[in-house]
């Protein structure tokens, strides 16, 4: 489009090693305990930020998706730690099994999200949140009831993504809180385009990140993040049973109050794997210019790309990326 803002080369296909980064450090907690107990223990590290009415933003997935977060883990976490919390979602932009609220409610039952309330936030309308210092947006259109919550717990299955390269906390709220008709279209499609997915690479990452910034700014000190690095297909959970097979080893669960730090640490752990173990996921990330999510979050002052990785399995001792992945084993389907 003639009015499309010119994109400078911003390196979304170029990984920046930790030693080359500058700035302050945040804290990212780490556990190799990929279980309901591990999830509860690491969540305890970031729970204090959550007060009042709490929404839990996670990807509930297309029907029978093989890689979504284990429902028993989430059920135990909410029952024991957040008994009054509500899972929050929005309808999809694509015509799948979560396109309408009626379809979405059916899919929630199919996938076993029946143990607590689920709020489809755009079921009855939208709300616009401001985007501060955005390049693409001054506001983003979200599901209407997002603003009913005082706190947001972002519980993310970290994996690949067909457009984003990877789906971490930024994608979970940047796409996942935008409503299914207006907000998601603002991120994915140039007005008037015949291609629903014509916005890609650097520009897509920036638009998605600005949407995520609207959410983090809205909740301020009352938002926190957990990424589960398990069953990491190059495909998003929105692809359901059509997802590509998982070949990347399971790694860990991470938690942080810093959205950039947790997504950066998740990417760093993938890159720290042996080449034969991370080849497919790294190729997906770089071919889509997914690393622009990280550099743009930094430009928007959403957090730090430097961090201290603290191992909760060893009394919060600091652990290196190399130590964190040295014992991973080739992926084996638990099913």
Q: How many CA atoms lie less than 13 Å away from 219 in the CB half-sphere?
A: 32
Residue 38 has pLDDT above 90, yes or no: yes
**CB 264, CB 305: distance < 8 Å:** yes
Pairing assessment for the beta strands 118-120 and 151-157 based on DSSP bridges: unpaired
Q: 2-25 burial by CB neighbour count: b if 16+ within 10 A, else e? A: eeeeeeeebebbeeeeeeeeeeee
Provide the total of helices (H) and of strands (E) in the chain, helices listed first. 10, 13
pLDDT at site 237: 74
Rg (CA), the chain: 18
Residue 1 has pLDDT above 80, yes or no: no
CA 27 vs. chain centroid, Å, equals 18
- 235 falls in which pLDDT band (50, 70, 90)? confident
With DSSP H G I counted as helix, E B as strand and the rest as coil, what are the percentages for the chain, rounded to 5?
Answer: 35, 20, 45
Q: Convert the pLDDT of each residue in 154-188 to its tens digit.
A: 999 999 999 999 999 999 999 999 999 999 999 99
Q: What percent of the chain has pLDDT over 70?
A: 96
Report residue 238 as tokens. 């929105």
Report residue 8 as tokens. 């400078």
**CB 213, CB 223: distance < 8 Å:** no
Question: How far apart are the two ends of the chain, measured CA to CA in Å?
Answer: 47
Residue 6 lies in a domain: no
Residue 98 has pLDDT above 60, yes or no: yes
- Separation of alpha carbons 237 and 230, rounded Å: 12
Residue 6 has pLDDT above 50, yes or no: no
pLDDT at site 244: 86
Residue 122 lies in a domain: yes
User: Total domain count for the chain?
Assistant: 1
pLDDT at site 334: 60
Q: Convert the pLDDT of each residue in 115-151 to its tens digit.
A: 999 999 999 999 999 999 999 999 999 999 999 999 9
pLDDT at site 130: 98
**CB 258, CB 28: distance < 8 Å:** yes
Residue 182 lies in a domain: yes
Q: 183: helix, coil or strand?
A: helix
Residues ≥6 apart with Cβ < 8 Å to 198: 188, 189, 190
Report residue 74 as tokens. 């989430």
**For range 62-73, the mean pLDDT:** 93
Tell me the residue length of the chain. Answer: 335
Q: How many CB atoms lie within 10 A of CB 283?
A: 13
- The whole-model pTM stands at 0.95
Residue 103 host element (H or E): helix 101-110
Instruction: Report the candidate in 232, 226, 327 with the shortest Cα–Cα distance to residue 279.
Output: 232
Residue 113 lies in a domain: yes
**For range 42-70, the mean pLDDT:** 95
Q: 328: helix, coil or strand?
A: coil
**CB 234, CB 281: distance < 8 Å:** yes
**For range 204-231, the mean pLDDT:** 98
Domain enclosing residue 320, as ranges: 21-325
Residue 1 lies in a domain: no
Q: Among all chains, which residue has been given the structure tokens 């029907």?
A: 63
Residue 8 lies in a domain: no
Q: How many CB atoms lie within 10 A of CB 252?
A: 27
pLDDT at site 66: 87
Q: Convert the pLDDT of each residue in 276-319 to its tens digit.
A: 999 999 999 999 999 999 999 999 999 999 999 999 999 999 99
Residue 264 lies in a domain: yes
pLDDT at site 213: 98
How high does pLDDT run on average in the chain? 94
CATH number for 249: 3.40.50
- 2 falls in which pLDDT band (50, 70, 90)? very low
**CB 265, CB 307: distance < 8 Å:** yes
């Amino acid at each position: 489009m003639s009015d499309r803002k010119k994109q400078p080369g911003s390196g979304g296909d170029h990984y920046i090693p930790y030693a080359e980064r500058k700035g302050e450090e945040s804290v990212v907690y780490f556990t190799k305990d990929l279980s309901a107990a591990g999830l509860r223990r690491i969540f305890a590290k970031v729970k204090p930020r959550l007060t009042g009415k709490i929404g839990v933003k996670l990807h509930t997935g297309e029907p029978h998706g093989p890689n979504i977060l284990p429902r028993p883990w989430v059920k135990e976490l909410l029952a024991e730690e957040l008994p009054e919390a509500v899972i929050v979602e929005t309808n999809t932009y694509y015509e799948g099994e979560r396109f309408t609220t009626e379809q979405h409610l059916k899919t929630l039952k199919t996938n076993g999200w029946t143990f607590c309330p689920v709020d489809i936030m755009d079921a009855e309308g939208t709300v616009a949140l401001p985007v501060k210092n955005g390049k693409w947006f001054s506001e983003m259109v979200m599901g209407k009831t997002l603003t009913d919550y005082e706190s947001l717990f972002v519980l993310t299955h970290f994996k690949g993504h067909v457009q984003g390269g990877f789906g971490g906390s930024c994608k979970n709220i940047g796409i996942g809180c935008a409503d299914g008709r207006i907000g998601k279209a603002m991120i994915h499609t140039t007005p008037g385009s015949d291609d629903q997915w014509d916005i890609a690479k650097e520009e897509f990452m920036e638009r998605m990140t600005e949407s995520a910034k609207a959410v983090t700014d809205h909740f301020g000190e009352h938002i926190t993040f957990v990424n589960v690095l398990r069953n990491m297909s190059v495909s998003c959970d929105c692809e359901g049973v059509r997802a590509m097979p998982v070949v990347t080893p399971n790694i860990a669960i991470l938690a942080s109050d810093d959205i950039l730090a947790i997504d950066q640490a998740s990417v760093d752990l993938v890159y720290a794997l042996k080449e034969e173990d991370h080849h497919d996921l790294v190729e997906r990330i770089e071919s889509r210019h997914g690393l622009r999510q990280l550099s743009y979050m930094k430009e928007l002052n959403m957090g730090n790309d430097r961090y201290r990785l603290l191992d909760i399995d060893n009394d919060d001792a600091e652990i290196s990326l190399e130590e964190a992945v040295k014992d991973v084993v080739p992926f084996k389907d638990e099913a």
